[in-house]
Chain A
Amino acid sequence: SQKIEQNSEALNIQEGKTATLTCNYTNYSPAYLQWYRQDPGRGPVFLLLIRENEKEKRKERLKVTFDTTLKQSLFHITASQPADSATYLCALLNDYKLSFGAGTTVTVRA
């Protein structure tokens, strides 16, 4: 069966450090992998999308890598700030349907 796993439920880091989140998937052959941020009681907010033929994508302090051989994506938040505290979700798009991982809750300590 298809699975999307985000390795950590929670990640606590010091302000200024880099947070690294992992997303692994099985039994998918995604053309696109997306990352979202969700704050409590709100809908997810789209952050970044990476295509299967792209190894890395950057947007401001965010960086995403995509390794289709390992079936893994890494999401990095550099120079983290308390405002980055949220739940981060990876999602695979297939046939107009997003399948989400359970999410990793990041807490950045000042």
Chain B
Amino acid sequence: KAGVTQTPRYLIKTRGQQVTLSCSPISGHRSVSWYQQTPGQGLQFLFEYFSETQRNKGNFPGRFSGRQFSNSRSEMNVSTLELGDSALYLCASSSDTGNYGYTFGSGTRLTVV
């Protein structure tokens, strides 16, 4: 079956702009999580959605937001981009609780200039 699909794969934005990233989970998976990966901080949890409801949120400023649609696809948005937002953004899906492991996408590489 198809894996987790993230689009776009690469993105270059200017400081102050906003960006929307998209994630399509594995068919049948209703939980979608987002992570930010940087060389300095490693993998950091952003938020998790299940059936369109946010069940947990990480320690990121309000500029970072997300949503999930009825077909389980998810988007995350970052407004007023800062240079420090440059990172690999990863989406992961699982069936429900994550107790059987997560499937990650290849990520979106965001560069803020």
Grouping DSSP codes into helix (H, G, I), strand (E, B) and loop, the B interface class, with mixed when no group exceeds half, is: strand
Chain A: interface residue total (CB-CB under 8 A): 22
* Number of A-B pairs, beta carbon distance below 8 Å: 61
Give the chain B neighbours of A96 by CB distance below 8 A: 31, 33, 48, 50, 55-56, 97-98
Contacts of A95 in B (CB 8 A): 55-56
* Chain A CB within 8 A of B43 CB: yes
| Residues of chain A whose beta carbon lies under 8 Å from any beta carbon of chain B | 31-32, 34, 36, 41-46, 49, 89, 93, 95-103
Nearest CB of A to B1, in Å: 15
User: Interface size class for chain B?
Assistant: 20 to 34
Chain A CB within 8 A of B28 CB: no
Establish whether residues B42 and A100, one from each chain, have CB atoms under 8 Å apart when the complex forms. yes
Nearest CB of chain B from residue A90's CB, rounded to whole Å: 11
Q: Which residues of A contact B102 (CB under 8 A)?
A: 34, 44, 46, 98
Shortest Cβ distance from B107 into A: residue: A43
